[in-house]
Structure 1
């Protein structure tokens, strides 16, 4: 990969519509599979920016193996945390569309093509999402995760999530964002469990929602993910309470939250 030079990137971004940002920390185990899936997309007019959060493994070495001129690499001098590293990608992206993609996931070959088409066909939409196939560490399929279907207003999507107290939009790997709707919005690092949902809800205040209607990637679950490491039950409850407080319009989500909390306490 080329070392990231902002002037060089901005020059390319003038003629290229999409940047895929890949925040990574110690990703040597799965990173190569992830990057290979990006390199083989049917829609190929994009840039990849890998943002290494001061990894101590062979992440940098793996990135240097890629000679694709669309791929760029930058490294933080110190680990700034997962949320701020995602935000750094949003700071650096200058193209019409931006996708944050997890370094342990695998993008299906037609996903970018379908998501770009969806946003171009629906100029009112702030983001295009997809369903996904949830897998184990070795990509063994576990189940298909489905999110809100079809085309909705941003408010409809937000209220569906808050009423269910559930992320029915998807994580960063699910979505393609219209950068004009993202603007200066960034992940709120006070959230851990629901950081991606809360960020997407603020983006959806700027425009509509659309789902391409099929799985777009393999979502790999393993013991080293941010949600497994940093989101014990008390953190999840704290985030859910904050999300309800910020977005609920009726008592229903609060009642549902208390009932769930009681069931967890009772076993």
Structure 2
């Protein structure tokens, strides 16, 4: 008689997942680049990513129905890391970004635009930070603003403290969209909201800050290109309308009842118009009263405490004006 012996191996649940990741050669990071008629700069943008020392990534391009030669230029690079998808029609930035979230293979999604440049060791630095700090869901970095010829207009050293960032997002966007790397799992749950097209990033960062910590690294990791044909520049009116809607929503979440005039004051802070466009009297009385009204919110006092809010109040001139 032959006696068969069956040995059952109990494999930890994480092991099969790890095995299939290795089997499929899944990248750790997806560099997500939406593009619409971005032929002028897209090769420079891609080369700046391909020059990174960090190599465990794919580049996912979502072409939003371009009518220029973007596709041809991308294919001339002939790089296996690049995955190119083209929408059948122009669907808009939010739809393209959400398609990218669905197609991304990486554990992390690093955002880039087709006219920007990635600098330094941005990917390695941001991935290392997220690997070591599990309570953080997204991380940006400092950046240059450059013109269409690549000349530096100014350098933005963005805030780094989570609490200050979360509070400041009520007033103004604190992250360059193209500078951010985020956890794919969280980004897919939150997604970009089409209601806030053109300020979809500001809305997403606010919602990120509500479910996890966020920060900017004190490194220069991006050159953000600002010029007449820039998407935000071309859609300034729509952008401002949607930002006003976003700011009003946030004030309502804080139980801050606000008039149209108060919302205008808040918009002046958001768009950096308080300094040059408001009279000294309005700044001294109207803005001060409005800021005090915000900082007296019971919701904010419960979240931060009176002392923290008082310290934040002292920083407001430096932060926003």
* TM-score, normalised by the number of residues in structure 2: 0.71
Give the structure with the larger strand fraction: 1
Kept in 2: contact 1:37–1:109 (CA 8 A): no
Tell me by how many angstroms 1:235 deviates: 4.4
Instruction: Show the counterpart of 1:121.
Output: 132
User: Structure 2 vs 1, CA of residues 184 and 261 (structure 1 numbering), >3 Å: closer, same or farther?
Assistant: closer
CA distance in 2, matches of 1:77, 1:27: 16
Instruction: Show the counterpart of 2:201.
Output: 196
Tell me by how many angstroms 1:252 deviates: 9.4
CA distance in 2, matches of 1:84, 1:24: 12
1:148-187 matched pairs, under 5 angstroms:
148-150=159-161, 152=162, 157-162=165-170, 165-168=171-174, 170-187=175-192
User: Structure 2 vs 1, CA of residues 120 and 253 (structure 1 numbering), >3 Å: closer, same or farther?
Assistant: farther
- Quick one: which of 262, 265, 283 aligns to 1:259? 265
Between stretches 201-210 and 83-92, larger displacement belongs to 201-210
Give the CA RMSD over aligned residues: 2.6
User: Structure 2 vs 1, CA of residues 235 and 142 (structure 1 numbering), >3 Å: closer, same or farther?
Assistant: closer
- Quick one: which of 212, 226, 251 aligns to 1:221? 226
Stretches of structure 1 that go unaligned for 5 or more consecutive residues are 1-9
CA distance in 2, matches of 1:12, 1:185: 29
Tell me by how many angstroms 1:178 deviates: 0.8
User: Structure 2 vs 1, CA of residues 12 and 96 (structure 1 numbering), >3 Å: closer, same or farther?
Assistant: farther
SS at 2:190's partner residue?
A: coil
Between stretches 118-127 and 202-211, larger displacement belongs to 202-211
CA distance in 2, matches of 1:78, 1:148: 38
Instruction: Show the counterpart of 1:239.
Output: 243
Kept in 1: contact 2:165–2:215 (CA 8 A): no
Between stretches 115-124 and 235-244, larger displacement belongs to 235-244
CA distance in 1, matches of 2:119, 2:264: 39
Instruction: Show the counterpart of 2:315.
Output: none
Kept in 2: contact 1:100–1:172 (CA 8 A): yes
SS at 1:30's partner residue?
A: helix
- Quick one: which of 15, 22, 26 aligns to 2:33? 22
* TM-score, normalised by the number of residues in structure 1: 0.84
Matched, 1:33 2:44: yes
SS at 2:139's partner residue?
A: strand
CA distance in 2, matches of 1:115, 1:129: 8
SS at 2:39's partner residue?
A: coil
SS at 1:32's partner residue?
A: helix
- Quick one: which of 59, 76, 92 aligns to 1:81? 92
CA distance in 2, matches of 1:186, 1:13: 26
Instruction: Show the counterpart of 2:108.
Output: 97
Kept in 1: contact 2:60–2:83 (CA 8 A): yes
Instruction: Show the counterpart of 1:57.
Output: 68
**Cα deviations by residue, 1:120-168 (Å, 9 ceiling, x for unpaired):** 1111100011010001111100101122224x25xx5332210xx2111
Kept in 2: contact 1:129–1:211 (CA 8 A): yes
- Quick one: which of 157, 165, 172 aligns to 1:146? 157
CA distance in 2, matches of 1:219, 1:85: 20
Q: Which has the larger radius of gyration?
A: 2
Give the structure with the larger helix fraction: 2
Tell me by how many angstroms 1:14 deviates: 5.3
